[in-house]
Amino acid sequence: MARYDVLIVGGGLSGLSVAHFVDKLLPGRSLLVVEKAPRLGGAVQTFRQAGFQGEWGPHGFLDNTAESQELLRDTGLYNEAQAAPLGDFYRYLCHRGRLVRLPQSLASALTTPLISGWGKLRVLADLWRRPIPEAMTIGDWVRHRFGPELLPLVDAAVTGSFAGDYTRLCLDSVMPGVRKLELATGSVIRGLIRKKREAAKGQGLGRLPSMLNFPDGMERLITVLAQGREVAQNTLVQGLEPGGGGDWRVRTDQGTIEAGRVVLAAPVNGGLQLLSGLRPPPVSCLPVSRIVNVVMGLSGRAKVPYGFGYLAPEREGRFTLGAMFTSHMFPDRAPSGQVLIEALVGGRRHPERLALDDEELISAVYEDLRQLIELPEPPLFSRVLRPEHGIPQLEMDHPRLLAWRAEMERHFPGLLICGFGWDGIGMNDMIRSAKNTVLAMAAATGRQDEAKVKAVYF
């Protein structure tokens, strides 16, 4: 029977990042990545057709996280990355049926038409409202701290990251860093000012972050991380159990493999399924939000506003959750003189829209966009992408799962658990969690994840 020092279940960004940090921090270990699919990358997959280049999954990640910066430096990918600086691009909110720029600075926040004068004063009440330590949803928390007028903006942020519902997502799971600031300083505004001062002292980027991707698309990251690595593709892990002498026995559809350490880097629900054979989890699965991406190529006569794209809060009653103006963010994503837009539909609140056929989706998205953007003619190119991967929703059950994971890792030495939905959902979260997993492996003392202020990546 084959034996490895480290076996990683899952060849997505999490698993491959764990492999990278094992090589770096624990050199000399024999390591195998086991992936059930015929391709690596999981949710990361680039789309190319007719001169357009989009993404099935992630479209970008911010360059403000130490672990991702480290990974990019280690792999040489910093030199290749394309950066779209948030400071140079506008982001828009659909507000009362039109696109309004989101404020990017304190001065523009004071004058934005998105919030009334009274609403702005109410936001400042954060300075003296006492924190409620109990677990709560993001919606309840925002209403308490900042007042109801901020809810549509928060709705948009949560839509842009989770395709989720702020009335169900758990504050402590989704925004652990902001929550920590609130509890430490009694106010989010005060906490953010403190952080800004630290940044001015050289402990931060000192500028608005940039969104990163690569000229060949996000898949490039996967290709580079997988280079020269031993990977068993088309191999489904079906179960794991502690074997003799401290080793683990990992049962796959291709046979059993022994390993000193097993890192479960599958999405949270797949992980729970595998772990339930060892001990039943307190919750069998987290809800998952699915979206479709309607890719549209438009002629240069389309008056797509300059910027990253827009998001539509639920109260606007739009068909489309929002759209990315991809060829504004990254050059060469569309043939010369044309524009690429990627519009997202579905999400936690509208799974029924995923059942529409391609024609219906394209025409509903086009009609929706036409009311917001001057589009003199129908798209020259359109394609509906239906990613098989959904986004795990860190709702109110999530903290119980984290406590259970800590117990499992304590009880079963050599078992480590990370991946989509455990320590967040964004690419930066996955890379940070991968590094923490390897540090925990090195120290064998359990994970010591530090809650950071989360970055919104759209």
Ligand X SMILES: Cc1cc2nc3c(=O)[nH]c(=O)nc-3n(C[C@H](O)[C@H](O)[C@H](O)COP(=O)(O)OP(=O)(O)OC[C@H]3O[C@@H](n4cnc5c(N)ncnc54)[C@H](O)[C@@H]3O)c2cc1C
Q: Can you give the binding site for ligand X, defined by CB under 6 A?
A: 9-15, 34-37, 42-44, 57-61, 236-237, 265-267, 270, 291, 387, 389, 391, 419-420, 425-427, 430, 457
- Could you tell me the smallest distance in angstroms from the CB atom of residue 403 to ligand X? 20
C-alpha 351/C-alpha 324 separation (Å) is 20
Long-range contact set of residues 326-334: C-beta below 8 Å, sequence gap at least 24: 326/54, 326/59, 328/89, 328/304, 329/59, 329/60, 329/84, 329/89, 329/211, 329/213, 330/82, 330/84, 330/213, 331/82, 332/53, 332/215, 333/52, 333/53, 333/54, 334/51, 334/52, 334/297
CB of 424 to ligand X, least distance (A): 8
| Shortest spacing between CB 131 and ligand X, in angstroms | 28
Q: Which of 109, 111, 91 is nearest to 101 (CA)?
A: 91
- CA 32/CA 230 separation, integer angstroms: 5
Closest to ligand X by CB, 191 vs 322, is 322
Q: Which is nearer to ligand X, 12 or 322 (CB)?
A: 12
Residue 416 CB, shortest distance to ligand X, in Å, is 13
Q: How far is the CB of 332 from ligand X (least distance, A)?
A: 19
Q: Are 277 and 240 in contact (CB under 8 A)?
A: yes
Strand order in the sheet with 338-346: 98-101, 91-95, 309-311, 322-324, 338-346, 291-299, 381-385
Least gap, CB of 40 to ligand X (angstroms): 7
Between 181 and 237, whose beta carbon lies closer to ligand X? Answer: 237
Residue found by looking up tokens 């029924």 in the block? 352
Tell the smallest beta-carbon distance from residue 448 to ligand X (Å): 20
* Residues 366/266, Cβ–Cβ less than 8 Å: no
From the CB of 294, what's the least distance to ligand X, in Å?
A: 13
Nearest to 304 by CA among 270, 338, 260: 338
Q: Would you say 267 or 313 has its CB closer to ligand X?
A: 267
Q: What is the DSSP string of 43-63?
A: T--EEEETTEEEESS---EES
Would you say 267 or 379 has its CB closer to ligand X? 267
Nearer to ligand X, 44 or 341 (CB): 44
**CA-closest candidate to residue 239, choices 222, 215, 256, 214:** 256
Q: Which CB atom, from 150 or from 345, has the smaller least distance to ligand X? A: 345
Evaluate whether 166 touches 155 at the Cβ level (below 8 Å): yes
Q: Decide whether 13 or 402 has the Cβ nearer to ligand X.
A: 13
